[in-house]
Structures are given as structure tokens and as C-alpha cells.
Amino acid sequence: MMAERAVVIRPLARPGDLGWVVMAHGEFYDREFGWDTSFEALVARIVADYAEEKARGPQAAWIVEVDGVRAGCVFCVRKDDRTAKLRLLLVDPKARGLGLGARLVEECLTFAREAGYEAITLWTNDVLGSARRIYQKQGFELVTEEHHHSFGHDLVGQTWRRRLQRGR
């Protein structure tokens, strides 16, 4: 029998959190999909924008720790006055199977709803099957798909959207 693991979801606020998000994305996506450093650069820009625009409107980010070690993250940022954007969902492969991805998305949805956003959107790629399944279970619907060459690969980008209602 596997011992219970201590899981904590906390606001992204500690020194090293921002750098960990960039590093973890770069390392995990290289290892799992062979994506090049242009992906890590994109993540670095998203993280820098989050850190610099904190006062521009409701936004938040969370780190999930398993047994005291960072194991995942998600960001909820402002797209416009009515729409939030879910970004940078990641769960360390060593911590998968604990339901952390779903819990992080739920955290993001709750925040967006309470901040008064009417909808939430996200952009992903079709090769990220586990994340797409989480989004579908959480009520996101596929809006558009487009072929693109990014991160050293031919990919199919997808935009997903979900309406938000208070209390749901």
C-alpha cells in the first residue's frame, strides 16, 4: 500500500517559484515531446508578463507541492474585461495520477468566477492529451484548431473556451 502523500496548493509567491515554472516547462516538454528552447522562451515571456502586470486586473497563479516539493502549476490571467485565460498548466510526471491537474484547473476556474469573469479560454496543442481530457471534463469546448510549426515540431494548436456562471 502506498503511503498518503502530502499535497498543498498554494499561491505562487515564494522566491524561486517563477524560475521553477520556466525551468520545469522547459525540461518536461523537452523530455516528453522533444520541444526546443523556443518553448521555454515562450513560457519565460508569459511568466514575466504575469510578474510585471500584477496590477492590471484580476490574475493569480498557483503551485502544487507534493511532499514539500514543487510538482505543478497553473496561471489565471486577464485576457480582457470579461474573459480570463488559463495558462501554463503543468504537473510533474512523477506526481501524475494524483488528480493534481484537475485540482489546479478547478482552482483557476473558481478564481476566474469569483473575479467576475464571464468566460475563460486557453490555448494548447493536440499532442497534450491528458490536459485536453481535463479541460473537457471541466466543461471547456474546442473553438478552433490551426496547424503551426513551433518548438521544433509541426503541431495542431487548439483554442478552448468555457462560460463561467457564479456558483458553478
**pTM for the predicted model, two decimal places:** 0.92
From residue 100, how far is each of 9, 97, 140, 147, 160 by CA, in Å? 9, 8, 18, 29, 20
Taking only the tens place, the pLDDT of each residue in 97-145 is: 899 999 999 999 999 999 999 999 999 999 998 899 999 999 999 999 9
Q: Which fold has domain 7-118?
A: Aminopeptidase (3.40.630)
CB 25 within 8 A of CB 85: no
Q: Domain segments of the chain: what residues?
A: 7-118
Ramachandran assignment for 99, one of left (phi > 0), alpha (psi -120 to 50 degrees), beta (any other)? left
Taking only the tens place, the pLDDT of each residue in 73-99 is: 999 999 999 999 999 999 999 998 899
